[in-house]
Structure 1
Amino acid sequence: MSDIIILANFCFDFSENDNGRFLYLANMLAKKHNVEIITSDFYHTEKRMRKKAAAKWPFKITFLHELGYSRNVCLKRFYSHYVWGKNVKACLEKRKKPDVIYCAVPSLSAPLAAAKYCEKRGIRFIIDVQDLWPEAFQMVVNIPVISDIAFLPFRKMADGIYKRADAVCAVSQTYVDRALRLNRKCDHGESVFLGTNLETFDTNAANNSVSRDAEDELRLAYCGTLGSSYDLTCVIDALYIVKKKGVQPPKFIVMGDGPDMERFRKYSAEKGVDAEFVGRVPYDKMCGILKSCDITVNPITTGAAQSIINKHADYAASGLPVLNTQESKEYRRLVKNYRMGFNCKNGDAEDLAEKMTRLIGDPQLRKEMGKNARRCAEELFDRSNSYLRIINLIEKE
C-alpha cells in the first residue's frame, strides 16, 4: 500500500455528480492505497471560495488557501496561483513523505514547487498535463514580442516541471509530446483522454431524459465555457446562413456559462437565431439534454492551444455527429478516421453552414455518424478502461 498525493489546482465540487478526472482516479486508487487530494479552496469553475466537500469520499481532501480571482485572464489570477503554490510548498514540507505525487499541470507555481520537493527527496513525481501554459494565455494576450517576453518566466516554469517528471501523462498526445521535448527521463508518455464513464453517462441520460415530439425541429448542442476560446459567433452566423437559404435550422441549445454569455445571447437575438442558453447545469442533467439533441458543435477559435478536451468525450458518448472547427490535428484526425462528423474550416461560417445543412437534410447520415461517434467513445474515451493505464503508471515501482 502506497501513500499517494494527487495535487490538482482545478478540481470540481466533489459532489456525487462530480465528473472530474482526479476524483475518479482517487476513487480507483483508494481501493488499494492511502490517497490524499490536495487542491485549492477557490473553486475556479464558479469563481468562488469553497465551503467543503459536498460528499464523503474514501480518501482525504485537503483544501489549501488561494486568494481567488474574477476573470480567467488577469494579473490577480497569476498572483493567486503564486500564493497557492507557496501554500502547497509549506504543506508538503510539513507532511510526512509520500511515495508518489501525481500532479496536474497547470497551474505552474505549485507543480514546480512539488517537482523540486520530489527531486530533493527522491519521491516519484508524475505529471498529468491538462493544458499548455503559457501557450493558452498567449492566445488571448497575443502582442508580438511583448507577449513572448512577458510570458517567458511562465515558460521557464513549465519547462522546469516537464524536465523533472519521472513519468508523463497527458490528456492528449499533443501535450505528451510537448512535455517530452524537455524530459530526458522518460522514453514515452501516456496519452489518456479526459474521457467519461460511459455507464455513468448512459445512466444519467436515461434518468434525465428530455421528451421530444416527432415534429420538433432539430437541435444543435454546445456544452462548455462561454469565453474567448469558443467561437459561438461563428455558429450563430452559420445558423443564420442556413435560415437565409430557406432551410429550417436546428434550435441551438447552449449549456454552460462564462464571461461572454450575454454577448452570445445578444448576438443570437440580433440574428434572429433560435437559441436557448440554459446556463451551467449539473453533469447528470447535461447528459440528458445532450442525448436529446441531434447534432453537436465544437467551435474553438483559431490558434487555440486546446487539444482533446472534456466535451469531446461527452459528445462522442451521446452518439451524435459533431461539427468541428477546432484546428487541433489530433481531434480532427479522430473526426475523420471514425467518420463521426465533419471537420470545418476554422472561423468560416459558410463552410460550417454547408456541412450543417448536409446533416440537417440526411437523417441516415446523422444516424451513421452518430453510431461511429459512440464507437469512438467506447474505444478511446471510456474511463473504466482507459484510466487503468494511469493507475498502472502510478503503481509502477
Structure 2
Amino acid sequence: MSLQKKITIISYVFNLSNTVRAYAVYDSLKSEYETQVLYADYDHYSKQYVTFDNKNFKSIHVPGYKKNISLMRMVSTVLFGIKSLQYLKRARTDFVYVVCPPNFGAFLVSFFCKKTNIPCIIDIVDLHPESIPLSNKIKKIGDFFGLFLWKKFRNLAIKNADEVIVECNYYKNFIASSFHDKVQTIYIAKQSNLQIVKFETVREHEISILYLGSIGHIYDFETLISLGRGLVKRNIPIKIHIIGDGEKRNWLIENLEVESIPYIYYGKIFEESNKKKIMEMCDFGFNGFKDETSVGLSYKSLDYMDYGLALINSTKEDTWNLINENQAGLNYFADDVDSLINNLVNLAPEDVLLMKKNSRKLFEKYFDRRVFESSIRKKMKELI
C-alpha cells in the first residue's frame, strides 16, 4: 500500500503539452505524490476524441462540439463537472486540484471538498465569460439572460476553495478583495527546448512579424492588417509569417491578399525543430487581443519570449507592464495603429536586438518551467 499522499487533478482540457496547466502540475508533483488526472476525452483544440495510455490519466466521456462558442460546449463542460463529482465520491483522495474553467464543475467539486474536509485548490487559467469577445452592452444583455451565473459559479468555487491560484495578476481584478489573502499568482510556464537562442537575425531591410497559434475570434487581426497596410503604403518591406489555424483563417488570408501584404502561411506545426526555423526568420511576435477580452498573459507570448522575439502586444497588465519595464517589445492600443507604425519604423537594428534579448530574459526569469515547478511544489508542501 502506497504511503504517498494522493492528489487528484481535475481539468477538462488536457494533453501532454508542457504548456497545458494540468499536465504541468501533474509533471511537477508525480515524483512526490500519488498523482492522478481526470480529463475530458474530447480535445478542445483538435475537436477529436482522445485518450492517453497512462494509468494515472482517467478519461471522462463528454459530448463533442464544433464551435467554441456554442450550447454544446456548455453541455459538454457541465457533464464533465457532474461526472467528475461522481468519480470523486467513489474514489479516495487526500487533495483535489481543480483547473477552472469550467466554472460549474469547479463549483461542484469545491463544494464537495468543503463538505467532506478534503483540501482543494482552484487554479484559474481563463476568465469565462469575461474573455469572450463581446461588447460590454451585449455582455450586460447576456447577464440578464443568465450569463451572470457563469461568474457566480466561479465566485462560489473561490469561496469554497482552501487556496486559489491565478495564472496572472490581472485575474485578481475579478476576484473579490475579501478573498485576496488566499490568492497567489503562479505564472503559466513552458519547458524550453532551446540550447542556444540566436539574436543575430535582426532583418535590417524587412520588418518580419510572426503570428503563432489559434486564428480565432478573440485575437486582434484587424490591427495586424492595419499595421501591414500602413507599412506597405510607406513602401517599408514587411513579411508576416503565420503558424496555426482556426475559424478566421480564411478571413485573415483574404484580407492580407486584398491589402497586398506579403505573408507566408505554414498551417499547423507541432514539430519544435520546424517551428524553430521559422521563429529564427522573425524579429517580432504579434500578441494582439481584442479589447473586449480579459487576457493578461498568453501562451503564444511565452513561445515568442522563449525564442527571443520582441513582442507587439495589446494584452493587459502583466504582459503590458513587463514589456514596458523591461524594453521587450512594443505595446499598442487598437485605436491608435499609427503610433504603433511610427514606433516600429523608428526602431534601429540595435534597438530591436536589445528588445529580443530582453524578451528572452523575461522568459528565463518568470516563465521557465523550473520556476513553475518550484512554486507548485512549495504550495503543495504548505497545504498537505
Q: TM-score, normalised by structure 1?
A: 0.88
1:252 alignment partner, one of 240, 243, 250? 240
Contact kept? 1:101, 1:124, Cα under 8 Å: yes
Alignment partners' CA distance in 1, 2:9 and 2:173: 22
1:196 alignment partner, one of 186, 190, 199? 190
Contact kept? 1:168, 1:176, Cα under 8 Å: no
- Count of aligned pairs: 376
Q: CA deviation at 1:30?
A: 0.9
Match in the other structure for 2:31: 31
Q: CA deviation at 1:33?
A: 0.9
Match in the other structure for 2:376: 390
- Name the CA shift for 1:215/1:312 in 2 (closer, same or farther; >3 Å): closer
Q: CA deviation at 1:381?
A: 1.0
Alignment partners' CA distance in 2, 1:109 and 1:155: 9
Alignment partners' CA distance in 2, 1:8 and 1:392: 21
Match in the other structure for 1:374: 360
Match in the other structure for 2:323: 335
Aligned residue for 1:137, secondary structure, equals: coil
AA of the residue aligned to 1:45: Y
Alignment partners' CA distance in 1, 2:166 and 2:203: 42
Deviations 1:40-89 (A, max 9, x none): 00000111211x22xx66x6001101102111111111111111112111
Alignment partners' CA distance in 2, 1:137 and 1:19: 21
AA of the residue aligned to 2:373: Y
Match in the other structure for 1:345: 333
AA of the residue aligned to 2:249: M
* Residue 108, structure 1, aligned to residue 103, structure 2: yes
Aligned residue for 1:226, secondary structure, equals: coil
Q: CA deviation at 1:173?
A: 1.1
Match in the other structure for 2:41: 41
Aligned residue for 2:181, secondary structure, equals: coil
Alignment partners' CA distance in 2, 1:384 and 1:330: 20
Unpaired runs of 5+ residues, structure 2, are: none
- Name the CA shift for 1:309/1:235 in 2 (closer, same or farther; >3 Å): same
Match in the other structure for 2:280: 291
Contact kept? 2:202, 2:352, Cα under 8 Å: no
Contact kept? 1:3, 1:34, Cα under 8 Å: yes
Contact kept? 1:220, 1:253, Cα under 8 Å: yes
Please list, as runs of the form range in 1=range in 2, the aligned pairs for 1:48-87 lying within 5 A after superposition.
48-50=48-50, 52-53=51-52, 60-87=56-83
Q: CA deviation at 1:188?
A: 4.1
Please list, as runs of the form range in 1=range in 2, the aligned pairs for 1:202-241 lying within 5 A after superposition.
202-203=194-195, 217-241=206-230
Identity of aligned residues (%): 21
AA of the residue aligned to 2:78: Y
Unpaired runs of 5+ residues, structure 1, are: none
Deviations 1:332-391 (A, max 9, x none): 1111001111111224332332223234xx211111111111111111111212331122
- Name the CA shift for 1:143/1:244 in 2 (closer, same or farther; >3 Å): same
2:265 alignment partner, one of 254, 277, 290? 277
Match in the other structure for 1:179: 175
Aligned residue for 2:8, secondary structure, equals: strand
1:267 alignment partner, one of 235, 250, 255? 255
Contact kept? 2:215, 2:246, Cα under 8 Å: yes
Deviations 1:314-343 (A, max 9, x none): 2111112111123x1222111100111111
Match in the other structure for 2:232: 243
Alignment partners' CA distance in 2, 1:104 and 1:322: 28
Q: CA RMSD in A?
A: 2.3
Alignment partners' CA distance in 1, 2:7 and 2:124: 18
Aligned residue for 2:138, secondary structure, equals: coil
1:3 alignment partner, one of 1, 6, 9? 6
Alignment partners' CA distance in 2, 1:214 and 1:383: 30
Deviations 1:119-164 (A, max 9, x none): 1110111011101112123636852642122302212111111111
Aligned residue for 1:305, secondary structure, equals: coil
Aligned residue for 2:219, secondary structure, equals: coil
Q: CA deviation at 1:26?
A: 1.1
Match in the other structure for 2:128: 133
Alignment partners' CA distance in 2, 1:71 and 1:369: 37
Alignment partners' CA distance in 2, 1:148 and 1:138: 15
Alignment partners' CA distance in 1, 2:247 and 2:346: 32
Q: CA deviation at 1:100?
A: 0.9
Q: CA deviation at 1:218?
A: 4.4
Alignment partners' CA distance in 2, 1:73 and 1:61: 27
Aligned residue for 1:82, secondary structure, equals: helix
